[in-house]
Structure formats: C-alpha cells, structure tokens
Structure 1
Amino acid sequence: MKKITWLAAIAVLLVVLGLYQSKAGDAVAQASAARPELKQGQAVPSFSLKGMDGGEYHVGGPRDKPLIVNFWASWCGPCHEEAPDLAQLYERYKGKIDLYAVNVTKGDSLKEARSFVKQYGYHFPVLLDAQGEAAAVYRILFVPTSFLIDKHGNLKEVIHVLPRDELEQRIQSLIEA
C-alpha cells in the first residue's frame, strides 16, 4: 500500500512540474516575441543613452560611419582582455568608424566602470545602460558582446572576444561594406 501511495505522489508531482514548465515556457516565448531577434542584414533596434561625458548618444538608423557597439562590465575578465585592443584599434580607425562602449551599469558599479575606462584609456564614448534597457533590447546574455553595424544601420555581425588581428580584419570589412 505504501508503494502505491509513493507512486501516486510522484505521478502528481510530475504532472504539477510539467504544468509549471509549460506555463514558464509560454512566458519566455511571449517575452522573446516582444523583442524581435537580431538578424544579420537587418536594421538594429534603436536606443539612446547618456554617456559618461554627459552627452546623449543614439544607436539605430543611418549614420556617417559604421558603428561598433560593445557591451561590457568592469567585473568581466574577458572585457579586460579585449579592452586594450579596442582602444588601440579605435585610435587607428577613429576617422572611419564610431565605437560606443555600453557599460551594463545595472549590473556594475559606476565607480568601477570609470576606473576601467581610465585604466584602458578609452577615448570613445562610454554609454551607461543604468536600467539595462539597451542590453535587454540587444538580448545580451554575457559580456563582452559587440555588434558591428554598417552605416545604413544594419547588423553586419555579432562578435565576442577575438584576437587583435582578427578583430582588426572584422573592422576593416565593416569599413569596406
């Protein structure tokens, strides 16, 4: 008799768990549908953020130069690895590209972010995503993540940490597109 009771309890538990997962899956699907997937060749979502310099910066739509949007955080080890390369390559190509470093401030410390920017000598706009809205729109799952956007406002490529020479090749291809 005890064996039947245990089996019935396990069966009920499995049914409840299945219903819960079904409802949770529906909620995730609805949230994902509200944010369209970013696809190569299509226009990137627009957003505006304040920069550390107090300026307002806009992403989305046509512009004079291609744009790299790099999402990062000061606590992120790979972000520290790629930071010197981003700074050097920006200095080399700054007349031909724009680079916005978007700090995911919602999950970071503004003090640490400022220290990071100073440490690596960023001379390009550093935007503060204090509410996490830009990261949500761009579906940032981990940092660093960079979006290479052509001058028409279309996504060319999504990249993560690359060796410096490979990153430079991607930047050159973006400029030539």
Structure 2
Amino acid sequence: MRVERMARAGSALALVALVGLGCAPDDDASAAAGGAADRDLAASGAPDGVPSGAKPAPGDVFRSLDGGEATFDDLRGNVVVANLWGTWCLPCRDELPELVELARIYGGRPVVVLGLAVDSGDVDEIRDFLEEFGVEYPNWTIGMDDAVATFGAVGFPTTVMVDPEGWIRKELLGPQTAASLTAEIEALLP
C-alpha cells in the first residue's frame, strides 16, 4: 500500500513538472514521441551538406487561416521560429506577447515568426483569439496527433527553430522570451 502511494506521488510530481513547463497533450501519442525539454540538434556525424544533427523541416501541407495551403518550403531563405501553441494552453497565452515583440524586432529581416495553432477551434475562433493578443504574424492550423507525430511535441508551447535552408536546428519546450529567441535567431542568420 505504501509503495503504491509513493508511485502515485512520483507520477503526480512528474506531471506537475511537465505542466510547469507548458501544457501536456492529453493523449498517449506524446509519450511515444519521447524527447527532452530542449533539444539542440547539434550532434556530430552528419552527412556532407547537412548541418550537424539537424533534421529536415516537415514536408507536410498545412492550412493557413485564410484557407490556403502552406508549407515550410514556402519559407525557405528565412529563419523560421515555428511555435506550436493552443488557445487552451495558459503558458502559450503568456508567451504570445513575447512572440509579438519578436516579430516586431525582426520585421523586414529574413525571419518569420510562425504560429501553429494546435486543436484551437475553427478559423474564426483562432482569428478572434489572435486579434485579442495583437498577433499579426502568420498562423497555420494543426491537429494534436499531427503536432505529436510531425514535431514530436511532448508539451506546449513547443518552439522549433528552422534555418534558412529548411533544417530544424533546435527544439524548445515551454514558454520562451523574445530575448532568448533573439539569441537563437542570430546564431542561424547568415
């Protein structure tokens, strides 16, 4: 009985730690995805022409809020700060002003702040939400299963840094600041 209570307490602490970083997905797919809080993909042994430890940005087709189709290939030549977020995620809401500021800082430069709205309602609901927070950078929609399968998201917000050649160079879990993301962007700019 005592061992069982200790195991439950340990599980509760692990959940509190994950939620403290951000919002955890409800399904078990996130557990299968694995992953660390922040992943710097700078491992050695990469083939020629591939940045060390990098992996390609997904080739999936996403739906933009204007109803069109969009891909990461459309953003080649830019550093992309792709932020997976949800209207239902309180840490994501807290992070939005930082991303708005980041988009302002890099306006006119080869940097795209991109939101990926995860299971956040219909397009009108997402637009209303973004308007409330003053978000003007582009947003695409994605389902929870796709966020986990495509990006390995284990919690939200998750931010993925993509270099101008289309390589994912870093994955960050939890709310970020404009200052911390600026340092990541500057490292990827040519």
In the superposition, the TM-score normalised over structure 2's length comes to: 0.64
- Distance in 2 between the 1:139 and 1:151 partners? 21
Q: What amino acid is the match of 2:68?
A: G
Aligned pairs for 1:84-163 (under 5 A) are 84-94=97-107, 95-105=109-119, 108-110=120-122, 112-130=125-143, 132-160=145-173, 161-163=175-177
Quote how far apart the aligned CAs of 1:172 are. 2.1
- Distance in 2 between the 1:83 and 1:99 partners? 11
Is 1:68 the counterpart of 2:81 in the alignment?
Answer: yes
- Distance in 1 between the 2:59 and 2:126 partners? 23
Structure 1 residues 122, 149: closer, same or farther in 2, change over 3 A? Answer: same
Structure 1 residues 62, 89: closer, same or farther in 2, change over 3 A? Answer: closer
Quote how far apart the aligned CAs of 1:87 are. 0.9
Deviations 1:66-89 (CA, angstroms, capped at 9, x unpaired): 111110001111111110110111
- Distance in 2 between the 1:72 and 1:146 partners? 9
Quote how far apart the aligned CAs of 1:132 are. 3.7
The answer for the alignment partner of 1:59 in structure 2 is: 72
Report how many aligned residue pairs link the two structures: 141
The answer for the alignment partner of 2:13 in structure 1 is: none
- Distance in 2 between the 1:151 and 1:104 partners? 24
Q: What amino acid is the match of 2:110?
A: K
Deviations 1:41-99 (CA, angstroms, capped at 9, x unpaired): 22233211111122221025981211111100011111111101101111221322112
CA contact under 8 A between 2:101 and 2:178: conserved in structure 1? no
CA contact under 8 A between 1:100 and 1:126: conserved in structure 2? yes
The answer for the alignment partner of 2:185 in structure 1 is: 171
Over aligned residue pairs, what C-alpha RMSD do you find?
2.7
Higher relative contact order (CA 8 A, sep 6+): 2
Identity of aligned residues (%): 24
- Structure holding more helix per residue: 1
Quote how far apart the aligned CAs of 1:121 are. 1.7
- Distance in 2 between the 1:133 and 1:75 partners? 17
The unaligned stretches of length 5 or more in structure 1 are 1-27, 33-37
- Aligned structure 1 segments of 4 or more residues deviating by more than 6 angstroms: none
